Amino acid sequence: MRIPVYMDSHATTPVDPKVLERMLPFFTQDFGNPASRQHQYGWVAETAVEGARASIAKQIGALAKDVVFTAGASEANNLYIKGIADGLRQQGNHIITLQTEHKSVLETCRTLEKRGCRVTYLGVDQDGFVRPEELRAAIAAETILVSIMYANNEIGTIQPMEAIGQICLEKNVLFHSDATQAVGKVPVNMALMQLDALSFSGHKFYAPKGIGALAFRSVKRKPKFAPLIEGGGQERGIRSGTLNVPGIVGLGAALEIAAGSMNEEAARLSGMRDRMLRSFESELGGVVLNGPRSARLPQNLNVSFLGVEDTTLMMSLKDIAVSTGSACSSVDPQPSHVLKALRIPEGRVHSALRFGLSRFTTDEEVDFVVKRVIEAVKQLRASSPAYRMLQETIHSSKEDVTP
C-alpha cells in the first residue's frame, strides 16, 4: 500500500496503464501533425485523432464532427459560454447558472456581467439540487443560455438532467453542462438530455491532464459563436492550434475503458464509499453527510465531522491525500462556496472533508483511511472546546424535550 493513500480523485486521477500504452507510439513513433496532409506521418496522426473523436462521440450521444478538442473543461466552459454570449448578443443577454457551479463557469459569468450580460445564479436545496420550477420561472424572453453542472465536484450531486433539458427545450433556450465529473463515471447521453453542449476533462477519468473536449449537438441547433483562439483553423475554426495527438488518443481510450466497466466500477466504488460512511457514523457520531444519499456520484463522499476544523483534521492526516473541496479553488482560503450555497450551519461547512475513491482504490486502503480518520477525529475532539459545547447543546436539547 502506497503512503499517502490517495483519496482525491475528484481533483485528478492517474493515467490508466492501458491508456498510456495506447498513447506511447504517438510521442516517438507516430509523432506527426494531423494537419500535415502531404505525407504519411500526418495521415497516421489524423486517422488516430478522428478515430478517437468518433469513439468519444459515440459514448456521449453526439456526432463525431461536433466534438471539439480543448485543453480541458475550464477552456471548454469559457469557449462555449463566452462564445454564445458574443454570438447571440442580438437575441438576448441573459444567462442562468447555479451558485454551486465550478469556478470556470462562475468566473466566466462574472466576467460577462462586466460586459453587459445579466446572469441569474440560482440557489439549490440542502442536497445541492436545482429546483426545476425555479429554473422555469427564471427563464425570460432575453435568456439565451442555461449552464448547469451535471454532477457536482464537491458533494457529488447528480442533477435531474432530463427534466432540465425538457424545460430548456420548451423555452427554446440553449442548455450547456460542465459534465467533467460525470463523463466516464455515469451514463451521459446528450440527445436524451436535450443538451446543446457539454464540457469535460480527461484527467478526471484516467486520461492525461491537458486534454478535454467541448461537444455540440448541431443536429438540434447549429452553434453560433466567436472562437476564443484563432489561428490555423483547426477544429472547424472553433479552436485553432496544433492538436495534442497523444492526449486525444488517451482521451478516447480512457472513455472506451470507462464505458466498458462503468456499471461494475460504480457498484464497487459506491460500496466502498457507503462502508466508509457507515464506519464513521457508527464509531464517531456527530458525522453529517453533505449532499444526497442517492443520485450521487459513486466515488464521492463529503462528510462533516462536527466539532473538528477541516484544515486541522487534514494536517493530522498527512498519510492520506484528501481535500476540503475543489482543487481549482485550493489557493482561496474562503470556505467552500458549494457548501455555503446549501445554507447549512457554519460549523458544518468548516468541518467537511471530501473523499474521492478511484478505480485503483483497494479495500486495504479504505480500511486504513477509516481507521486513521476515526483516530484523528477522536483525538482532536478530546481537546476541542467547540465539540464540548456542541455536546452540551445536544444534551440540553434532549432534556428540553423529555416529558
Tell me whether residue 109 is one of the annotated catalytic residues.
Answer: no
Catalytic residue among 109, 117, 168, 328: 328
Kindly state the DSSP code that residue 203 receives in the 8-state scheme. G
245-284 and 363-382 helices cross at what angle (nearest 10)? 50
Residue 160 CA to residue 198 CA, distance in Å, equals: 15
The distance in angstroms from the start CA to the end CA of the chain is 53
What is d(CA 299, CA 187) in angstroms, rounded to the nearest whole number? Answer: 14
- Asked whether the beta carbons of 198 and 150 are under 8 A apart, the reply is yes
Helix or strand run (H / E) with residue 81: helix 73-87
Q: Is the backbone peptide bond immediately before 132 cis, with ω within 30 degrees of 0?
A: no
Single-letter amino acid, residue 370: V
Q: To 5 degrees, how large is the angle CA 75–CA 163–CA 107?
A: 25
* DSSP calls for 133-172: HHHHHH--TTEEEEE--SB-TTT-BB--HHHHHHHHHHHT
> What is d(CA 262, CA 9) in angstroms, rounded to the nearest whole number?
16
Return d(Cα 350, Cα 136) in angstroms, integer.
33
Q: How many CB atoms neighbour CB 268 within 10 A?
A: 17
Q: Give the separation between CA 251 and CA 67, rounded to whole angstroms.
A: 12
Quote the CA–CA distance of 212 and 178 in Å, as a whole number. 11
The residue type found at 233 is G
- Nearest CA to 146 out of 107, 178, 116 is that of 178
- Burial zone of 267 (CB within 10 Å; 0-12 exposed, 13-18 middle, 19+ buried): exposed
Of 323, 316, 205, nearest to 254 by C-alpha is 205
Q: Which residues are catalytic?
A: 328
